Amino acid sequence: MNGAQAIIHTLEGAGVDVCFANPGTSEMQLVAAIGESDKMKPVLALFEGVVTGAADGYARIADKPAATLLHLGPGMANGLANTHNAKRARSASVNLIGDHALSHKNADAPLASDIETGARPFHTWVRSIQSIDTAGSDAAAAVLASQSNVPGPVALIVPADVAWTEGASPGKPLAVPARLKAAQAGIERIAVQLRDAGERGALLLGGRATTRRGIEAAGRIREAIGTRIISDTFAIKTARGAGQVGIEKLPYFAEQATEALANVSPLVTVETKPPVAFFAYPGKPGRFAAPGAPVLSLALPEEDGLAALEALAEAVGGPREAVKRNALSLPDAPRAGKLDVMAMVTSVARHLPEDAIVIDESITASIFFQGVLAGARPYDHCDLMGGAIGYGLPAATGAAIAGRGRKVVCLEGDGSALYTIQALWTQARENLDVVTVMVSNRTYAILNIEMARVGAQNPGPKALSMLRIDEPTLDIAQIARGMGVESARAETAEAFEDLFAAAMKRKGPFLIEAVL
Amino acid sequence: MNGAQAIIHTLEGAGVDVCFANPGTSEMQLVAAIGESDKMKPVLALFEGVVTGAADGYARIADKPAATLLHLGPGMANGLANTHNAKRARSASVNLIGDHALSHKNADAPLASDIETGARPFHTWVRSIQSIDTAGSDAAAAVLASQSNVPGPVALIVPADVAWTEGASPGKPLAVPARLKAAQAGIERIAVQLRDAGERGALLLGGRATTRRGIEAAGRIREAIGTRIISDTFAIKTARGAGQVGIEKLPYFAEQATEALANVSPLVTVETKPPVAFFAYPGKPGRFAAPGAPVLSLALPEEDGLAALEALAEAVGGPREAVKRNALSLPDAPRAGKLDVMAMVTSVARHLPEDAIVIDESITASIFFQGVLAGARPYDHCDLMGGAIGYGLPAATGAAIAGRGRKVVCLEGDGSALYTIQALWTQARENLDVVTVMVSNRTYAILNIEMARVGAQNPGPKALSMLRIDEPTLDIAQIARGMGVESARAETAEAFEDLFAAAMKRKGPFLIEAVL
């Protein structure tokens, strides 16, 4: 068995059975090893940002890591923006990065670069295999590291001669230890403080705390003592829609976020940190908790917030289960006429099927979604976690592979989509059940807002031209067809309503360009 | 004047007047400063790989740096693959990378990452501005650093509050020192050895030595003493076609490269290093010079190889100018029938206009070009230098901006094109005179060759499926139209001949999908 075979066998033994890949020459032995395997499913992408973004979406839905295959330093670099997002999403993945043969390292060949250094800022763990003897055990260590207390993407650098040399053996799968428990004494102290605070107290949920189990426990706490339940502005996976416990979401803009927390005391964080501004602005607050209000940690990001929430629910004498839940409230069809964000989200809310997965990278548009989708059929909502745009189409691709039949709806901005538009080809290749709603406003809309907010007043036409993507107009429906994905364009509310309703009833990839 | 204005003024003062940009919130002040300027031309791209690849193409043609605008760590990361290529191409550029405000650095906001560490492996110089007081001088230092003895991309990290704070002043432009001179004694020793070797001696040209001035001097040496002239396998900018001194090119594959150098002694390198294999392969040589043959450096990469070649031409008593030059030899129209690489390159050679720029990322196809294009009208040929595919369309974009009316022909592989296909939109937006010939073989053809070469014998259909991009078929002509670029498809030699001839006579971006 050569090193590549040992690595692939080790991953399979640890339950990793999907590999998102964009390989090159230095990865050919890994490609061959995957080719021989009857367990590992390879998913080819045309660009590495698709690879790493798909691994993010996959991990959020499958709750386990995928592998990826990347070509030396530049291949890794192309995947780093979505690796950054995956790290912020605590999405476990094992990035296998090919490197030059150890025997060729000092040749400084054209593709050579310092992969380890480049990998470090964006991965939670980095290792370069130094010998065929450790190829298997290094792979086992990588899988374990990806699922540590704070999961994330790890980099395992595989020199070509490690991959091709015979004499390797698979690494023994390493058991993932139970998550760290938050101290019971701390939970009890927080119970007392939250009980005293009543409706002034709030839980701020991050990490896995916004999944169904987390918000169920939070709902019990609220029903016992009135505590507000707020999720981070961006959440990894939130159980939403009818039958779920309803929660607030912290607004994006500093003014609104500080307003939302103005009367909160104490603020109790669960698997997250005290909330900060996405960007700093001149003269605006960078931290959102009310001045002087205690900010207490129920569970740090590395601790088990689900268990801590359940222990807190017991400590405050919460009911056995939450009673107050979102009612099913499907809106009427939107009024006919020019399409706008509200009409679009109304149609989405009406027709989203039960147990769907929504991948949301609609940026400015998403500000309007939150209320309308609360009454939809129950579904999982996944936000962009690291702010690096170009996450949506790839993450939807990976989520569809993990979802095994669950409908995936990707709410995507046109500006963001163009970073990783190649994901559509993989959706077509794998015939994935992904419907992309392309919110096409033909501008970096958020930047038009941010320009003034950073203090640049009255920008002229030359500056504003750098924020507009309407010259020439992108025909995204046509680009999608060029990549093998059927598509249509909607410019009216009634056209979108019909297209989206029909898309929910069919299978396979489809893109609707929603021109606003 | 705020920090952003000081930085932009400094760049302009140092002669930098083009900025390829994909900005975000943290760069809004720099956008505003460019907007106010009447010198700096902003060129918007939809993806950062286009930005940095354009800067590479620009520097090769303009012989000076462009600036770029990138959005924090992930924006930089998206640009790193082409930054790697630019570094290998010794293309000066100043990457302005926005960062969080210094006051917000310890907030660990979603987009925060260690930009400096991530930048280091891919840039020749990295600095993060620490204070408004040094914003201008740091910018001046960055421009100088980009044009050091070995030019390359540099990273200047600009915290948002440095950009928005008033009280900055522009930095004084710093004079770029003359390039290091190779020692005259060494040149004279090499003259003796090359004279003794006659036709067994060879010059290996890299860096700027393949430009017109370099090959002119090399031609004089060859005519005096018979020395062979060989360029690196991949060359930054080679003066080719009729009227130029004809040179060999070192083949890509190890067997052919060692064969080409088998009888060479001594091998004299000029602005390059002793030649090594692009990849290592089991049992194949990693270094190409004949065993035992002396390898001498006429000029190191950081030394002035042009002056050294001219001094060597004097030392060997070369003629005042080279006499033997490529004759104009325009081939007949290719035979009608199914399009193949030879038919395609025949049409390119026939119709390429004088003083054109060819950006070559046609990978496997380019092996066939070399001879046919030698008899074309004189032009500059630019190769992919760092091996990170996705260089062609962006570099053609930057070359067209620098070329100010010179026709740009981009010979591009379909697999490679899809990494940075967004460049077409910028070509449309700027109405650049770029004709893209998309060599569409619908596979990663080179990997089918490499699979066996790394020792993976008889790969099965599952492994081979990871090298094929024909399911679904990409309709690149349609994708181009979706990005605003007119396009057509050719499946026969006569169709390609007609399309290419017509494309050479019109202005503006156009794409021909050459289906092989």
Reading chain B (516 residues) residue by residue, the pLDDT tens digits are: 999 999 999 999 999 999 999 999 999 999 999 999 999 999 999 999 999 999 999 999 999 999 999 999 999 999 999 999 999 999 999 999 999 999 999 999 999 999 999 999 999 999 999 999 999 999 999 999 999 999 999 999 999 999 999 999 999 999 999 999 999 999 999 999 999 999 999 999 999 999 999 999 999 999 999 999 999 999 999 999 999 999 999 999 888 999 999 999 999 999 999 999 999 998 888 999 999 999 999 999 999 999 999 999 999 999 999 999 999 999 999 999 999 999 999 999 999 999 999 999 987 777 777 788 999 999 999 999 999 999 999 999 999 999 999 999 999 999 999 999 999 999 999 999 999 999 998 888 888 888 888 777 778 889 999 999 989 999 999 999 999 999 999 999 999 999 999 999 999 999 999 999
Q: Domain residues for B355? A: 341-515
Distance in Å, alpha carbon of A422 to nearest chain B alpha carbon:
7
Q: How far is A40 from B243, CA to CA, in rounded Å?
A: 56
Contacts of B506 (CB under 8 A, 6+ apart): none
Distance in Å, alpha carbon of B257 to nearest chain A alpha carbon:
14
Phi, psi at A395, each rounded to 5°: -65, -40
> A4 with A35: CB under 8 angstroms?
no
Query: Does residue B345 share a domain with residue B292?
Result: no
Distance in Å, alpha carbon of B24 to nearest chain A alpha carbon:
7
Provide the β-strand partners of residue B418: none
Query: Does residue A160 share a domain with residue A99?
Result: yes
B1: helix, strand or coil: coil
Q: Kindly tell me the burial class for residue B506, based on how many C-beta atoms sit within 10 Å of its own C-beta (0-12, 13-18, 19 or more).
A: exposed
A117: helix, strand or coil: helix
Structural domain contains residue B321: no
Query: Does residue A510 share a domain with residue A365?
Result: yes
Alpha carbon B363 to chain centroid, angstroms: 14
pLDDT band at A366 (very low <50, low <70, confident <90, very high): confident
Structural domain contains residue B334: no
Beta carbons of B23 and A474 less than 8 Å apart: no
Query: Does residue A153 share a domain with residue A189?
Result: no
Beta carbons of A462 and B35 less than 8 Å apart: yes
Cβ-nearest to A28 among B447, B474, B481: B447
Domain count, chain A: 3
Closest C-alpha to A215, from A450, A35, A374, A18: A374
Structural domain contains residue A71: yes
Closest C-alpha to A456, from B95, B30, B179: B30
Distance in Å, alpha carbon of A24 to nearest chain B alpha carbon:
7
Phi, psi at A281, each rounded to 5°: -130, 150
- Torsion angle defined by CA atoms of residues A13, A18, A20 and A22, in that order, rounded to the nearest 10 degrees: 60
What crossing angle do the helices spanning B212-225 and B184-197 adopt, rounded to 10°?
50
Query: Does residue B26 share a domain with residue B158?
Result: yes
User: Residue A320 pLDDT > 80, yes or no?
Assistant: yes
User: Residue A369 pLDDT > 80, yes or no?
Assistant: no
Structural domain contains residue A328: no
Alpha carbon B106 to chain centroid, angstroms: 38
Alpha carbon A379 to chain centroid, angstroms: 15
* Sheet order of strands, A18-21 included: A41-44, A18-21, A66-71, A93-99, A153-159, A125-128
Structural domain contains residue B172: no
Contacts of B65 (CB under 8 A, 6+ apart): B16, B55, B59, B92, B93, B94, B143, B146, B147, B151
Contacts of B282 in chain A (CB under 8 A): 161, 164
Q: How far is CA B26 from CA A27, A489, B16, B275, in A?
A: 37, 33, 22, 43
Q: How far is CA B280 from CA A25, A73, B251, B389, in A?
A: 10, 16, 15, 19
Cα-trace Rg, chain A: 24
pLDDT band at A175 (very low <50, low <70, confident <90, very high): very high
Beta carbons of A25 and B117 less than 8 Å apart: no
Q: How far is CA A344 from CA A63, A111, A340, A450, in A?
A: 30, 46, 6, 24
Beta carbons of A120 and B103 less than 8 Å apart: no
> A438 with A417: CB under 8 angstroms?
yes
Q: How far is B7 from B1, CA to CA, in rounded Å?
A: 10
Shortest CA distance from B388: residue in chain A: A74
What is the SS3 assignment for B293-361? Answer: CCEEEEECCCECHHHHHHHHHHHCCCCCCCCCCCCCCCCCCCCCCECCHHHHHHHHHHHCCCCEEEEEE
DSSP assignment, residue B2?
A: B
Q: Which two tokens stand for residue B159?
A: 């915290």
Cα–Cα–Cα angle for B71, B420, B253, nearest 5°? Answer: 125
Contacts of A498 (CB under 8 A, 6+ apart): none
What is the SS3 assignment for B60-75? Answer: HHHCCCEEEEEEHHHH
Shortest CA distance from A162: residue in chain B: B282
Q: Which two tokens stand for residue A266?
A: 């104490």
Query: Does residue B346 share a domain with residue B486?
Result: yes
Beta carbons of A78 and B49 less than 8 Å apart: yes
Cβ-nearest to A100 among B29, B279, B465: B279
Beta carbons of B481 and A475 less than 8 Å apart: yes
What crossing angle do the helices spanning A28-36 and A3-13 adopt, rounded to 10°?
50
Shortest CA distance from B79: residue in chain A: A78
Query: Does residue A371 share a domain with residue A494?
Result: yes
Dihedral sign for Cα atoms in the order A475, A481, A487, A488: positive
> A416 with A438: CB under 8 angstroms?
no
Closest C-alpha to A129, from A164, A91, A80, A153: A164
User: Residue A217 pLDDT > 80, yes or no?
Assistant: yes
Shortest CA distance from B470: residue in chain A: A429
Query: How does DSSP assign B449-514, residue by residue?
Result: HHHHHTT--S--HHHHHTTB--SSPP-HHHHHHHTT-EEEEE-BHHHHHHHHHHHHHS-S-EEEEE
Distance in Å, alpha carbon of A297 to nearest chain B alpha carbon:
16
Cβ-nearest to B460 among A35, A88, A118: A35
Q: Which two tokens stand for residue B432?
A: 């650049």
Structural domain contains residue B328: no
> A203 with A298: CB under 8 angstroms?
yes
Q: Which two tokens stand for residue B488?
A: 């057509």
Query: Does residue B193 share a domain with residue B109?
Result: no
Interface test with A, best of B84, B444, B466 (most A CBs within 10 A): B466
Contacts of B466 in chain A (CB under 8 A): 21, 23, 31, 34-35, 42, 44
Beta carbons of B418 and A422 less than 8 Å apart: yes
Amino acid at B272: T
Cβ-nearest to A472 among B278, B456, B484: B484
DSSP assignment, residue A180?
A: B
Distance in Å, alpha carbon of A385 to nearest chain B alpha carbon:
7
CATH of the domain at B424: 3.40.50.970
Last residue of a domain, one of A297, A315, A333: A315
Q: How far is A32 from A40, CA to CA, in rounded Å?
A: 12
Contacts of B394 (CB under 8 A, 6+ apart): B45, B49, B50, B51, B52, B53, B54, B56, B57, B82, B420, B423
Structural domain contains residue B330: no
Pairs of CB atoms within 8 A across A/B: 330
Contacts of A21 in chain B (CB under 8 A): 466
Which residue in this structure is represented by tokens 């507000």?
A228
User: How many C-beta atoms surround the C-beta of residue A301 within 10 A?
Assistant: 16
Please give the span between the terminal C-alpha atoms of chain B, in angstroms, as a whole number. 56
pLDDT in tens, A120-174: 999 999 999 999 999 999 999 999 999 999 999 999 999 999 999 999 999 999 9
Closest C-alpha to B219, from B329, B157, B309: B309
Distance in Å, alpha carbon of A148 to nearest chain B alpha carbon:
20
Report the pLDDT averaged over residues A207-217.
Answer: 98
pLDDT in tens, A442-469: 888 888 888 888 777 778 899 999 999 9
| pLDDT at residue B444, as a whole number | 81
Q: How far is B214 from B235, CA to CA, in rounded Å?
A: 12
Shortest CA distance from B110: residue in chain A: A386
Last residue of a domain, one of B102, B132, B164: B164
> A68 with A95: CB under 8 angstroms?
yes
Shortest CA distance from A28: residue in chain B: B451
Query: Does residue A219 share a domain with residue A154?
Result: no
Query: How does DSSP assign A62-75, residue by residue?
Result: HSSPEEEEEEHHHH
Interface test with B, best of A20, A25, A26 (most B CBs within 10 A): A25
Contacts of B77 in chain A (CB under 8 A): 77, 80-81, 84, 122, 388
Cβ-nearest to A108 among B118, B273, B460: B273
Closest C-alpha to A280, from B293, B291, B29: B29
Shortest CA distance from B274: residue in chain A: A107
Structural domain contains residue B336: no
Shortest CA distance from A386: residue in chain B: B110
Contacts of A456 in chain B (CB under 8 A): 28-29, 31-32, 164
Contacts of A459 in chain B (CB under 8 A): 31-32, 35
Amino acid at B400: A
Beta carbons of B77 and A80 less than 8 Å apart: yes
ipTM of the complex: 0.97
What is the SS3 assignment for A412-456? Answer: EEHHHHCCCCCHHHHHHHCCCCEEEEEEECCECHHHHHHHHHCCC
| Segments of B33-152 assigned E as strands | 41-44, 66-71, 93-99, 125-128
| pLDDT at residue B454, as a whole number | 78
Q: What percent of chain A stands above pLDDT 90?
A: 90
CATH of the domain at A282: 3.40.50.1220
Distance in Å, alpha carbon of B439 to nearest chain A alpha carbon:
16
Query: Does residue B247 share a domain with residue B141?
Result: no
Contacts of A123 (CB under 8 A, 6+ apart): A83, A87, A95, A152, A153, A154, A155
Shortest CA distance from A103: residue in chain B: B280
Q: Which two tokens stand for residue A27?
A: 């990865």
Dihedral sign for Cα atoms in the order A285, A290, A296, A298: negative
Per the model's pLDDT, the better-predicted residue between A66 and A468 turns out to be A66
Cβ-nearest to A81 among B77, B104, B276: B77
Interface test with A, best of B234, B440, B479 (most A CBs within 10 A): B479
Beta carbons of A482 and B478 less than 8 Å apart: yes
Q: How far is CA B493 from CA A240, B334, B342, in A?
A: 58, 6, 9
Q: What is the pTM of this model?
A: 0.97
Q: How far is B323 from B305, CA to CA, in rounded Å?
A: 21
Last residue of a domain, one of A164, A193, A218: A164
Query: Does residue B375 share a domain with residue B303?
Result: no
Cβ-nearest to B80 among A34, A74, A455: A74
Shortest CA distance from A110: residue in chain B: B386
Query: Does residue A375 share a domain with residue A271?
Result: no
